[in-house]
Structure 1
Amino acid sequence: MNPFRRSYTQVEQNYFKFLSKFKLFERLNRAEMLLFIPHLHLRNYRINEVVFFRNDPSQALYLIKSGELTMLLDVGDHFETVVGFGPLVSVGNNSLLEDSKRIFTAVVSSVVCEIYVLPRVNILDIFEQNPLIRAKMMESLAELLNENFSVMLRAYQVSHGLFDLEGMFSAFEMGC
């Protein structure tokens, strides 16, 4: 046993176990995850409570501990359900990107939803002091976005073109 090795409390170990289940944190070691722990704020949301609105600035990353969130998109004068998420899903991943805005409105769809909120300002402070952490998390974010894009294209293929694929791709600034 190494006497100089840092030991962690049971609370810290519980946080490590929790964080490591999220793609954004899976590449980080314990010492790197430890930097985020003081900035995690556990919030209890109630059914139909809005966590964030579409087009709001992306000011925090949300890590669902328990309960369910529904992502809604306002279309005309009503909302359409896009997807629902349960425990161990991160929401608001674009908060890692500068000047990003929310793409959906997030509403609690379970009686109670426990969510750890990680403010963007703290994420950016950690990134500024630790470029390797930033690189690891950005690589994970790129993988998540690639997976989501692949799912969207597969959905397009099976739906026999219910939306304008050419119009969508022409809006991209960069190639695939």
Structure 2
Amino acid sequence: MLNPFKKKYSGSELKTFDFLSRVKFFNRLKNSELERFLPGIHYRKYKKDEVVFFSKDPSQAIYIVRNGSVNLTIDIKDNFEGILKVKGGECFGENALLENTNRVYTAIVESDEADLMVIPHYAIQEIFDSNAEIKSKMITSLAEFYNENNHRLFKSYQSSFGFFSLNQMFK
């Protein structure tokens, strides 16, 4: 039996929910929870070699690649060393889910053009402040993401024969 009080979504809203539900950090959320993000989403086009943000910048938004690719790099002296290429359906700038953080890497558009969804930190925090369940689901995803990164870091360290000292991480 159909519920006459159940919210009906437009085709474009359903398309956005479908897209977001496949993106890390959003994949645990129901449509009714994803709906809370719709007013805060901005769509931006970036050109090749355009910097989305630099390391050490304040973490003011989370970014989701709709089309194109973005290189995440770390600054080593005067060069950028690539650490990851982010493509359609993937997210970066994840530390904007946390309060008072700065970027740990630089994001530079690699493709000729990149279409990004941008969700500002203030919009995320408003949702988190009013809905603990959404916050819990997204922070759990963030913790899993960081845990996976730690495993990759330690595996990489083990296979590189210790070219740096891990105790430097805790100084």
TM value normalised by structure 1: 0.93
Give CA deviations for 1:79-135 in whole Å, capped at 9, x if unaligned.
Answer: 222221111111010001111000011000000011000000000011111111111
- Give the distance between the partners of 1:23 and 1:83, measured in 2 at CA: 15
Q: What value does the CA root-mean-square deviation take over the aligned residues? A: 1.0
Give the SS at the match of 1:36.
helix
Give the SS at the match of 1:98.
coil
- Give the distance between the partners of 1:88 and 1:153, measured in 2 at CA: 26
Gaps of 5+ in 1: 172-176
- Give the distance between the partners of 1:158 and 1:126, measured in 2 at CA: 41
Q: Which residue of 2 aligns with 1:78?
A: 79
Gaps of 5+ in 2: none
Partner letter of residue 34 of structure 1? E
Superposition map of 1:3-14 within 5 A: 3-14=4-15
- Give the distance between the partners of 1:73 and 1:142, measured in 2 at CA: 21
Runs of 4 or more off by more than 4 Å in structure 1? Answer: none
Partner letter of residue 57 of structure 1? P
Partner letter of residue 19 of structure 1? L
TM value normalised by structure 2: 0.96
Q: Which residue of 1 aligns with 2:127?
A: 126
What is the CA-CA distance between 1:166 and the residue it aligns to?
2.4
Give the SS at the match of 1:71.
strand
- Give the distance between the partners of 1:79 and 1:137, measured in 2 at CA: 30
Give the SS at the match of 1:70.
strand
Q: Which residue of 2 aligns with 1:32?
A: 33
1:89 aligns with 2:90: yes
What is the CA-CA distance between 1:77 and the residue it aligns to?
2.0
- Give the distance between the partners of 1:103 and 1:94, measured in 2 at CA: 9
What is the CA-CA distance between 1:167 and the residue it aligns to?
2.1
Give the SS at the match of 2:25.
helix
Superposition map of 1:144-163 within 5 A: 144-163=145-164
- Give the distance between the partners of 2:79 and 2:138, measured in 1 at CA: 35
Q: Which residue of 1 aligns with 2:56?
A: 55
Partner letter of residue 83 of structure 1? L
What is the CA-CA distance between 1:16 and the residue it aligns to?
0.6
- Give the distance between the partners of 2:95 and 2:13, measured in 1 at CA: 26
- Give the distance between the partners of 2:4 and 2:69, measured in 1 at CA: 43
